[in-house]
Amino acid sequence: MRQMRVGLLGGGSWGTTVASLVARNAPVLLWARDAATVTEINTRHTNEKYLPGARLNEALRATADIGEAIAGADVVVVAVPSQFVRTTLESVRAHIRPWVPVISLAKGLEAGTGKRMTEIIGEVLPGHPAGVLTGPNLAREIMAGSAAASVIAMEDQTIVRALQRLFSSGLFRVYTNDDVIGCELGGVLKNVIAIAVGMGDGQGAGDNTRAALICRGLAEITRLGVAMGGKPATFAGLAGVGDLVATCTSAQSRNRHVGLELARGRTIDDIVTGMYMVAEGVKSAPVVMALAERHGVDMPLAREVYDVVRGRSSARKAFRGLLRTAAGAESEAG
């Protein structure tokens, strides 16, 4: 692992956390747009904006030159928000060496195309093995030393086993999976459900209601995920129910926070403007509904979130609408 060099793109909370973890196993050069962040990581070994109070691995180095971060890399990790993945990859195309694996940390879909991040990697950087690292991973908890587990998914199982060792670190355990589609979609779709759960929590719905929303949300995620080519078992694992539970219940969840604020009567524009970290579920909701329509999948929870995000409804109306929905057999939609 010490001979494997890693270029990581993105200086946010999760990108910085993964970079700090991997730096225990191999040299990592992190690229961040903000020159002040680069200086802080290199001199103080912190990133206070995104990880207040956390101490980064002193072996981690940062640069504001994206070409420098990529030129010598044996593995490239993309940790920018989903809507910037394509342009970021286009900017490294001239610097990346042939056949270098590219791993996405983003949990979103591209607006307009509905493409997953590994699909974008395949389009922009053909010939580079593409994969995803995903799971119930709250950056601040991991940096505080709490145990966590994740999944790395790729089609090539030889490469994925080598990368499993690269990303595994101390109490951060990494499993492998060959279901790239299912793992990516689990990470995307849970964000939309977390907004729904936040809207319920913000209206005092209680633990029973939260559990019901999570379970019915998982049913929606699984239906669409399988329709798009994912494996059912994936959604019962870390990339599915694991990530869903963490995002729907944690006070650190940005998407649940959006739901809570919507329940307080704030507009989505006001909420997003006040956040310096991206809540992917806001951008993903319209794309998810377009995919659900395309694949003929009913997603009542996601539809209510979509209507609120688009300003067509309110959190209160959405919650009442869900309570009025008729219940059929548990295996059915709705």
Q: Which residues contact 12 (CB under 8 A, 6 or more apart)?
A: 50, 79, 80, 81, 277, 278
Contact yes or no for 151/175 (Cβ under 8 A): yes
Spatial CA neighbour of 252 closest among 139, 105, 151, 135: 139
DSSP letter string, 41-106:
HHHHS--TTTSTTPPPPTT-EEES-HHHHHHT-SEEEE-S-GGGHHHHHHHHTTTPPTT--EEE--
Q: Quote the Cα angle for 270-273-279, to 5°.
A: 100
Spatial separation of the C-alpha atoms in residues 322 and 16, rounded to whole Å: 38
Spatial separation of the C-alpha atoms in residues 136 and 124, rounded to whole Å: 28
CA distances from 239 to 138, 149, 155, 231, 263 (A): 13, 10, 16, 11, 27
Examine the residue annotation and report whether 190 is marked as an active-site residue of this protein.
Answer: yes
* Catalytic position from the list 107, 115, 190, 283: 190
Spatial separation of the C-alpha atoms in residues 210 and 168, rounded to whole Å: 32
Q: Cβ atoms within 10 A of the Cβ of 1, count? A: 14
Q: Provide the β-strand partners of residue 76.
A: 7, 102
**Residue 177 in tokens:** 């999976």
Q: Strand (E) positions, the chain?
A: 6-9, 28-31, 61-63, 75-78, 102-104, 130-134, 148-153, 172-177
Spatial CA neighbour of 134 closest among 219, 51, 224, 243: 243
**Tell me, what amino acid is at 38?**
V
**Residue 293 in tokens:** 């329509």
Q: How many residues does the chain have?
A: 334
Catalytic residues: 190
